[in-house]
Amino acid sequence: MKHPTQSDSDSPTVINDRLRPVVREGVLEVPGDLDLYHGGHLTGVHVAWRIEGPAGAPIVATLGGISAHRRVFGDKTGEGWWNEVVGPGRALDAALVRVLSFDYLGGSGETTGPRSGESFPGVSTYDQAELLLRLLNHLGVKALHAIVGASYGGMVALAFAERYPERVGEIVVISAADRAHPMATAWRSVQRRMLRFAASCGRAAEGLELARALAMATYRSPEEFAARFSGAPRKEAHGAVFPVEEYLFARGADYAARHQPEAFQCLSESIDLHQVDAGRIFVPTTAVAVREDQLVPVADVRRLVARLAHARLHEISSVYGHDAFLKEGAQLKPAFAAFLGSVA
């Protein structure tokens, strides 16, 4: 059964004298109960997915942070969450591969997740990996050419490689490790506490604005903030308003308008519960570390690579910090070279 707002479809069109990649999307209805890694189960789970690229090309699952969704790239501004890195002719060249993604379980997309005021069981990166496996079975895909995962998506890639090594050729893990760093958990714990307090006051959306504003301060680097927000504050009746303050709360308000507080809570916790056994991962892995990343320190990625059986480390430097995966296409391109070179 298809989700009422989606359908499987192919939509090739000619643009600039070449064929646009074929787009298919739909919703997988998971039969029966889905038993979750942290306990509990869900019934009637549905998974919204999308695949785009040349018909018959190798398939690369492309997964992002907790705000990412199944539309990875697109022709219109803002259509895809990874437009600056993924697409035809870009660093991850969608003219060579088919890009597969899905809305996360427990998120704000069209996959099953919490809705306003609802409780929702804890979700693991292993649960996301199982849904990806079921999606591959549904699509008749024997094995993925690769998984490219950034931030939370890198955690899911590691979980999938540990559990289902025969179903993926290699993985690229960007700004993610085998477990969360305690300092990053500290920041996210405060965000979740802010959300719970705001919800108890009947102001969950405002709580999400605050939590996301705080999160934004951890995504970027001190160097970027110093360069962008060193101007003088504006005087208001209630006190000074600083340039960085305006930026953070504008981003928080924009996020709260598009996402569910309960989904943010669910997937934020999922990050901090994440823990895989790197010693059991034998899938060839390229790990990308950003030296300015406050959330996933480069030392954690180095330790991960040391424990993996077949891994190489690619370090980059970026003022964008943890968000470098969204911006640094040129620096990320070498990390994609191995699996793209085999299909070029």
Q: Give catalytic residues, as residue numbers.
A: 151, 293, 322
3-state helix, strand, coil in the chain (%, to 5): 40, 20, 40
One-letter identity of residue 334: P
- The label of the residue with tokens 């943890």 reads 322
DSSP labels, 292-328: T-SSS-HHHHHHHHHHSSSEEEEEE--TTGGGHHHH-
- Specify whether the CB–CB gap between 325 and 213 falls below 8 A: no
Question: Alpha helices, DSSP H only, in the chain?
Answer: 125-139, 152-163, 182-200, 204-219, 222-228, 243-256, 261-273, 298-307, 324-327, 329-341
